[in-house]
Amino acid sequence: MFPGRYGIFEKRGKTGVLLVHGITGSPAEMKPLVRKLTAQGFSVACPQLAGHCSTLKELKQTRWSDWYASLEAAMERLGEECDTLFVSGLSMGALLALKLAADHPDRIQGVATLSATFFYDGWNVPRLRQRFLLPLAIYSPLRYFWSYHEPAPYGIKDDRIRNVIAAVYQNDSAGMPEKYGYSEFPGVTIRETFRLIRAVKRDLTTIVSPLLIVHSTEDDMASLKNATFLAAGVSSDQVETFYVDDTYHVLTLDKRKDDVAARVAEFFRRIQTAIAGTESIYSVRV
């Protein structure tokens, strides 16, 4: 039903949740969240974004607008199956989810961001690289040749999962992108994420959908500054935050994945109930 060989679609009820994996990631990283949401009766779709689950050459040929087009197409198709739509994304996927809410306020009834990344400022990103090397690499011809090879812990605090990913990256340069994503982040792709960031920043004040911001207090790629920036920037009357510890950037796979999934499901269920008219959504900022 959905574009991409590795996209996910699980049909349950008439309320749908669109999930967005991270850039250089894959739909597989969203599976624990898929299981929780479908168990709660939601229909769930997680499209394979353009350029992903294939080769680095193909990824380098895509732009953020191509990733976003994959998401919009999935929204249209999920909308044919469901009366109510929610969206949730991980990392840069969270920014694509916010863009969708900004562009389609009449269709997206709620948003849950997981590790939303407006600034690459986590504890595992060297300050020198943030301030000098990264801009040099992405705003010069170097971007066509240079890639960022993310060091351990790969956004994962759980030793068992991290060791599996490390073994794959060390023994297979392709990194099994359909399951573990790409093992490197091309300079041209990083530049596209910066363009996406700028586009979403411009649109933040137009976002009015109820919003749940989930972020780790130990995020290795994006500090809590990202969560506070997002909360302050949107125009939503209902903004809730859920800060979790004992986990790093990839909230959908790490130690607190079950707690994160439960909180996202509860948030969407509460809004769904309110839409049905059995309770009221109060204008609160938690």
pLDDT digits (tens, 9 = 90+) for 144-161: 667 777 888 999 999 999
- Token duo for residue 51: 């350029």
My answer on whether omega of the bond before 186 falls inside 30° of 0, hence cis, is no
> How high is the pLDDT of residue 183?
83
Give the model confidence (pLDDT) of 77-91 as tens digits. Answer: 999 999 999 999 999
Q: How far apart (Å, rounded) are the C-alpha atoms in residues 226 and 212?
A: 13
pLDDT tens for 10-61 read: 999 999 999 999 999 999 999 999 999 999 999 999 999 999 999 999 999 9
User: Which residue ranges of the chain lie beneath pLDDT 50?
Assistant: 279-286
**Shortest CA distance to 5 belongs to which of 53, 65, 72?**
53
**pTM score, whole prediction:** 0.92
Burial letters 188-222, b for 16+ CB under 10 A, else e: bbbbbbeebbebbeebbeebebbbbbbbbebbbbb
State residue 286's pLDDT score: 45
Residue 283's pLDDT is 43
The CATH number given to 8-275 is 3.40.50.1820
Domain ranges of the chain: 8-275
The position carrying tokens 């995020």 is 219
The span from the CA of 219 to the CA of 123, in Å, is 7
